[in-house]
Structure 1
Amino acid sequence: MKPLSRVLSRTLFYLLVIFVVVYSVFPFYWAVISSFKPSGALFAADPSFLPLPFTLEHYKSVFLQANFGRNLLNSLLVAGGATLLSLVLGVLAAYALGRLPFPPRNAVLYLVLAMTMFPQISVLGGLFMLLRQAGLFNTHLGLILSYLLFTLPFTVWVLVGYFRGLPRELEEAAYVDGATPLQTLLRIMLPLTGPGLVTTGLLSFIAAWNEYLFALTFTVGDAVKTVPPAIASFGGATPFEIPWGSIMAASVAVTVP
């Protein structure tokens, strides 16, 4: 009985794994094959799970006729700038909250966590007025600073855990050798938090890369517009046509990085 029950349990486990993988990967697979199908094949009564007939017309339409290349550069600039700035500020704040002794640090840390609980729509109006008064509306810097609203608290919260996990003896040895807190951070503590920096950097970049609401609200025209609102603004030959092929091609191109 034991071998039979073990075989059944392993079979059910692998079936569950296969189901989860297919359920997770299939939407992206469908987007990929749809981006290589002609427009007429996308609405066929018997859809094919292979890109037949094969075509690159949607990719040509996206990159040659639209300003999609400029939108990609804008997304790279804004997402990269927001990630870099959140890492620089987040490292300093996380080190202070995680290692330096001062009474209200736990209260400050929970305040940082509370900032992530507000939905974007709740701060949209105030942030719009702030950026407009500061002359940062429809600028790359304005988008970068607005993205810090959700990337910086996340970076601080994650890195605090990494800094708290490092041995106290490392700092004590550095202080005995005459190092300042900043020198201790840059030369000793920071190299040891490499995995945390990579993790928070990647997640912050992905969040900024996929952000839609702020990019739609705080930009006008293609000069600063990033990829998500650019894809949403794709239009067909008529006002009632949705260019699914171009949308799929742009989505695949954006997902690759």
Structure 2
Amino acid sequence: MADADGKQAAPLPAAEAPFDAIGLARSLLRRTRSGALATLERDGGAPFASLVTVATDLDGTPLLLLSRLSAHTLNLEADPRCSLLLSQGGKGDPLAHPRLTVAGAVVRSDEPRVRARFLARHPKAALYADFPDFAFFRLVARAGHLNGGFARAATLTGPELLTDLSGHDALAETEPGAVAHMNEDHLDAVALYATRLAGEEPGPWRLTGFDPDGLDLVAGERTARVLFPERLASPAALRPTLVAMAAQARGLPGA
């Protein structure tokens, strides 16, 4: 990003950026299904980049399923520091599309919630997730660097990347049942959220998770993020919010 004199200017902190840097960064976190993971080679050599699939925890923390037979996992066992580049890409110049780099360190997780959320995002991974050399990891974010396209760059702190879960202690318990209920009994509403509220093309849309800020949906390889009209005050607010959103979607022109 250049300043008024044409010199290269440092990215602004997200809170000072002239666009919604935090919202865009969180959207990339929630929507992107794969990314480039950069680790530090064990022998002190060059940084090592590899492609990995990605999901998110309730607060948006990136989740990874890694094999100990992979070079990047062996690197992380020696030094857990890493960075993860997320970009959804699109038509035209790849550099014209938003991308986010998350820097931090990985921590192995055996929590059932982490496994469930990852497999909801990547169902085919269930074929190998329980192999003895595979394990789930959380990437604990220290900072983020967002390039939102031309002249739209910003830096973010770890907390700015994530969704605040204050007041939602019961969310981890209620989320699986709510997701299953919507996918089993209300796929018509899920489709409306994706097509009418998120502007996505029709498809076999299903819900993979929710958090205080919104819903995550998938249809094959496609993803969608649908924000709630306002942050949920508590998990109990989910049902009336979903009902209201479905009614809104049905009332839109062309529905």
Instruction: Please indicate, yes or no, whether the TM-score normalized by the shorter chain is above 0.5.
Output: no
- If asked which structure has higher relative contact order (CA below 8 Å, sep 6+), I would say 1
TM bin, normalised by shorter chain, reads under 0.3
> Rg larger in 1 or in 2?
1
With normalisation by structure 2, the TM-score equals 0.25
Which structure has more helix as a fraction of its residues? 1
